[in-house]
Structure 1
Amino acid sequence: MKPQSMLFTIYGEYVRHYGSEIWIGSLTKLMGEFGLSEPAVRAAISRMLRQGWLESRKVGNRSFYSVSERGKKRLEEAAARIYKVESSAWDGKWCMVSYNIPEERRALRDQLRKELGYMGFGMLTTSTWISPNNLREAIQELTETQEITEYVEVFAAEHVGLRDPKQLVQKCWNIDEINAKYKEFIDSYQAEYEELEERIREKKEVPDSLCFVNKTKLVHQYRKFLFIDPDLPQELLPELWLGKEADKLFQNYYQLLNPGAVRFFETVYEAAPV
């Protein structure tokens, strides 16, 4: 597990619910539960500071790190997608983004493509991306932040042919690969979940530290689907779609682990004095 990616998980799953700020000593102890060394944690924090995800302040001789406004927004977006509620019926509309960014601003173009993929857009052509979800406001905010509004257009579109909407989905997203990743997730965690469920049913002791490690790993792994699953409506999903089964497993296992995980976090967590 990469330290920076794990830090995002720790902040998103725990720290943001406790004022979004934590002492470096608490962070290194929490990360140490995953075998990550203090130098590795400090190096990851430095990168996140440079990238604008974190902010720091000193209280006496102690350093405390909090999530920046940019970081809070990204964590909230991720949480909304991980713990999503059942969506309403699809209205048949597509959100279409078309752009023409000059070659001299290629780095921004590459960043835009990466962000579009994260949002769940699929590439229809090199510079035209589509999503069945209404993401107009998110696109507007993104282009304004990157100062590329003049190069981007957004449309609410209706697909009138020449192929079936599910064929369009197959063209723009690798559904088979996403399904395979969901199968890997289920195969990795089903037995682990059932074993813990049995231990709890038999009233056997389950250490809080184990709950913390397993829950954090669970969220860490499931969070990866944010980068590959476009969150398609039911009407566009294939008959064999393992996303629902994986989500149910995630939610059930999460509920078993969460109380102990939070208790362990609270024994380690230290915020800055008021």
Structure 2
Amino acid sequence: MAEQHTPRSLIVTLYGAYGREAPEPLPVAELIRLLGAVGVDPPSVRSAVSRLKRRGLLLPGRTADGAAGYALSADARQLLDDGDLRIYGRRPPLLSDGWVLAVFSVPESERSKRHLLRSRLGRLGFGTAAPGVWIAPARLYEETRHTLRRLRLDPYVELFRGEHLGFAATAEAVARWWDLGAIAKRHEEFLGEQEPVLRAWWDGREPSPEGAYRDYLPALDSWRRLPYLDPGLPLELLPPQWPGERSAQVFGELHALLRDVGARFVHGPEAAPLPDGPPGAAPVGPG
């Protein structure tokens, strides 16, 4: 299991990929089985579930036969729904879409909220245009609004839509607002991890449910971070041979090949087909 595939992250990825449509809480025993298949031991599963419960993302419940389990909270569902727009987005970013600006001011007596704001905007993919002024592609507005309200940070922030009018060329400004070198490196790391996986399936392996699941869940777990580091910048603003296009293509092919086959390992061979919509849609490049 790669270092970044923490038990907590893999549980969130599992619910995002396969657990949202479940009619009842996912039993703890099933969580242990499914996480065990990708190398997580039972104590680590239980510890991660407890942390997610404390954060309000998982809610305890009982299955129809009385087994203990966990379901997603409303906040967790909103987070996953917002994430779908990035992870499985269909439309390439356009420069004409414009930008969303987040301008904030936090009193000195509430410095902890200032740190939380900066941290959360950074995790949403915002770049820093100036002190207290953060910028992102305009399509991130709804997710930003949901996040700031959920964290009760909205009283400190004003959001604006607009276009960049200079004075520097927009591509030059973007290179200051984001660390494009660091983002490119993360795409290259993803390609180094996942291109060999894709080649192995191309070499004629017939996807078995367990094999597909074992490869798909870590691939999704790695990929779903990238559209937050790389917020989806228009291609004309990025350096030549931007690796985000290739990493999106690799994930898209793994997704199309493995996700639905892996669902039979999660839900059983007689499971109904996964519903249409973002989690089953082929993703496009993040920029």
TM-score by length of 1: 0.88
Match of 2:210 in 1: 209
Match of 2:107 in 1: 102
Match of 2:82 in 1: 77
Match of 2:32 in 1: 28
Change in 2 beyond 3 A, CA 1:144/1:184: closer
In 1, distance between residues paired with 2:90 and 2:42? Answer: 38
Matched residue SS, 2:102? strand
Shift of 1:262: 1.0
Of 80-89 and 249-258, more deviation after overlay is shown by 80-89
In 2, distance between residues paired with 1:140 and 1:107? Answer: 20
1:162 aligns with 2:167: yes
Give per-residue Cα distances to partners, 1:32-71, cap 9 Å, x unaligned.
1122121111111111111010111235752120000000
Of 139-148 and 225-234, more deviation after overlay is shown by 139-148
Match of 2:254 in 1: 253
1:16 aligns with 2:20: yes
Change in 2 beyond 3 A, CA 1:134/1:217: closer
Match of 1:54 in 2: 58
1:44 aligns with 2:48: yes
Contact 2:25–2:62, Cα closer than 8 Å, also in 1: no
Change in 2 beyond 3 A, CA 1:17/1:237: farther
Matched residue SS, 1:123? strand
Contact 2:58–2:71, Cα closer than 8 Å, also in 1: yes
In 1, distance between residues paired with 2:192 and 2:252? Answer: 15
In 2, distance between residues paired with 1:92 and 1:46? Answer: 41
In 2, distance between residues paired with 1:63 and 1:125? Answer: 49
1:243 aligns with 2:244: yes
Contact 2:102–2:133, Cα closer than 8 Å, also in 1: yes
Matched residue SS, 1:45? helix
Give per-residue Cα distances to partners, 1:195-246, cap 9 Å, x unaligned.
212224xxxx543211111010110111120331111123322222111111
Change in 2 beyond 3 A, CA 1:184/1:134: closer
Matched residue SS, 1:57? strand
Give per-residue Cα distances to partners, 1:148-172, cap 9 Å, x unaligned.
4332222223322221101111101
Shift of 1:85: 0.6
Shift of 1:134: 4.1
Shift of 1:88: 6.0
Change in 2 beyond 3 A, CA 1:88/1:148: closer
Of 133-142 and 234-243, more deviation after overlay is shown by 133-142
Matched residue SS, 1:70? helix
Larger of the two Rg values belongs to structure: 1
Shift of 1:92: 6.1
Matched residue SS, 1:212? helix
Q: Aligned Cα RMSD in Å? A: 2.3
1:142 aligns with 2:147: yes
Change in 2 beyond 3 A, CA 1:88/1:247: closer
In 1, distance between residues paired with 2:41 and 2:164? Answer: 52
Match of 2:229 in 1: 228
Contact 1:118–1:226, Cα closer than 8 Å, also in 2: no
Matched residue SS, 1:101? coil
Contact 1:212–1:260, Cα closer than 8 Å, also in 2: yes
Change in 2 beyond 3 A, CA 1:268/1:55: farther
Q: How many residues align?
A: 266
Contact 2:59–2:73, Cα closer than 8 Å, also in 1: yes
1:188 aligns with 2:189: no
Flag structure 2 segments of 5+ consecutive residues without an equivalent: 272-287
In 1, distance between residues paired with 2:118 and 2:107? Answer: 14
Give per-residue Cα distances to partners, 1:111-152, cap 9 Å, x unaligned.
222221232210122311011324444444434333343322
In 1, distance between residues paired with 2:192 and 2:13? Answer: 22
In 1, distance between residues paired with 2:150 and 2:200? Answer: 47
Shift of 1:7: 0.4
Change in 2 beyond 3 A, CA 1:220/1:269: farther
